[in-house]
């Protein structure tokens, strides 16, 4: 018997969520984002579950090489490009695609000693101001890469949206217009050897005018909405991860008795307190306040007391029955990670990606 804290990963939900992305943009190719250990879900197993995907996206070459070494054969895009010139040859030898977003990365490709051409994604900064060449300068970079034998025939032009998760914000339309003005002014058009990638998860779901040759679904394929409001497309997603544990102890506390470190909660009535074996050492957020919902046997109960490294305490006074060994769900299909994150003044992305290796991932379906 082992500690009951586990993340259950539903492979079929992964496939269904990717199918939704494909259905919303049927003329596009979907590149699942599996960076940061597939948002905490386990990059290798996610890639295996999505074996029909045409390519995958990661942050860096270490993530890509780990997948290659484990037998993943699809092209893998390095979203941040190279960090040193020697990575270009590794990329070319391993069919890794490179984002090129600054002059140093461009020169590393053009001066590489590799005899194999590498596929390039050319990043354009349309307003996020994080990565990418300036739109006014793109022609010289595009032409230099196009003319080089070090670069594969087809180049993908890409940008990233800053505010696509806000459906009322005009920034996404402005960035899209900036991207296409850039292409028009530089006499660049999509065609046989030039492809375009604009859409992240929020844009796939909520901004159909951004769908182009490649889309980059991330958060959505793990079954979570990037929006803070209900949305007809996002509401079709199925959460892939169920983070669960179990009750390991029960006790009665009197009115005014404290629970947990710092005694930041005192019982307002005679209370039954369940101790659950999960804590910030398992990725459950320490900043979770009193009242954060936890499902005990499928019923919402409030967290009480400070989250500790290995345990939390939950007020189960209103449950008709509770026993040691009963299931506790921290988030999943019946308790969205976004809701827990809102209580903790953070985002679901963070809660998922920072889950440590101590928590076993059990894969089903």
- Residue of 35, 106, 119, 150 marked active site: 35
DSSP class per residue in 274-316: EEES--GGGT--TTPPTT-EEEETTEEEEEES---SS-EEEE-
What is the Cα–Cα distance from 156 to 102, expressed in whole angstroms? Answer: 15
What is the Cα–Cα distance from 23 to 252, expressed in whole angstroms? Answer: 52
What is the Cα–Cα distance from 286 to 279, expressed in whole angstroms? Answer: 7
- Residue of 48, 261, 280, 363 marked active site: 261
How far is CA 77 from each of CA 65, 80, 94, 238, 294, rounded to the nearest angstrom?
11, 9, 11, 26, 38
What is the Cα–Cα distance from 142 to 188, expressed in whole angstroms? Answer: 9
**Dihedral in degrees, nearest 10, Cα atoms 301, 302, 304, 307:** 90
How far is CA 235 from each of CA 12, 29, 240, rounded to the nearest angstrom?
17, 22, 14
Query: Is residue 261 annotated as a catalytic residue, yes or no?
Result: yes
Q: With beta carbons less than 8 A apart as the criterion, state whether 122 and 155 touch.
A: yes
Catalytic residue numbers read 35, 261
């Amino acid at each position: 018997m082992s500690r009951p804290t586990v993340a259950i990963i539903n492979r079929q939900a992964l496939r269904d969520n990717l199918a939704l992305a494909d259905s919303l943009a049927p003329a596009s190719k979907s590149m699942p984002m599996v960076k940061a250990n597939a948002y905490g879900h386990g990059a290798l197993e996610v890639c295996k579950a999505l074996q029909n995907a045409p390519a995958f996206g990661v942050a860096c070459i270490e993530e890509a090489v780990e997948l290659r070494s484990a037998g993943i054969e699809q092209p893998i895009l390095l979203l941040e490009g190279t960090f040193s010139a020697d990575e270009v040859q590794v990329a070319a030898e391993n069919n890794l695609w490179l984002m090129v977003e600054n002059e140093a990365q461009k020169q590393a490709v053009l001066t590489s000693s590799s005899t194999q051409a590498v596929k390039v994604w050319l990043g354009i900064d349309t307003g996020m101001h994080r990565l990418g060449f300036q739109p006014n300068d793109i022609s010289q970079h595009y032409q230099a890469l196009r003319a080089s034998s070090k670069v594969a025939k087809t180049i993908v032009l890409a940008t990233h949206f800053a505010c696509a998760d806000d459906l009322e914000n005009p920034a996404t339309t402005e960035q899209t217009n900036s991207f296409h003005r850039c292409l028009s002014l530089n006499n660049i058009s999509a065609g046989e050897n030039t492809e375009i990638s604009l859409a992240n998860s929020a844009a796939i779901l909520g901004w159909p005018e951004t769908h182009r040759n490649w889309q980059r679904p991330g958060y959505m394929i793990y079954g979570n909405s990037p929006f803070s409001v209900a949305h007809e497309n996002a509401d079709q997603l199925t959460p892939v991860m169920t983070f669960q544990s179990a009750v390991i102890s029960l006790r009665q506390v009197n009115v005014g008795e404290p629970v947990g470190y710092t005694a930041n909660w005192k019982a307002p009535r005679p209370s039954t307190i369940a101790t659950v074996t999960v804590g910030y050492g398992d990725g459950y957020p320490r900043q979770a306040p009193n009242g954060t919902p936890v499902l005990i046997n499928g019923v919402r109960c409030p967290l009480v007391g400070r989250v500790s490294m290995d345990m939390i305490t939950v007020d189960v006074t209103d449950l008709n029955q509770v026993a040691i060994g009963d299931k506790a769900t921290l988030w999943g299909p019946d308790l969205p990670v976004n809701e827990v994150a809102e209580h903790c003044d953070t985002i679901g992305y963070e809660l998922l990606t920072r889950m440590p290796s101590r928590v076993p991932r059990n894969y089903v379906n």
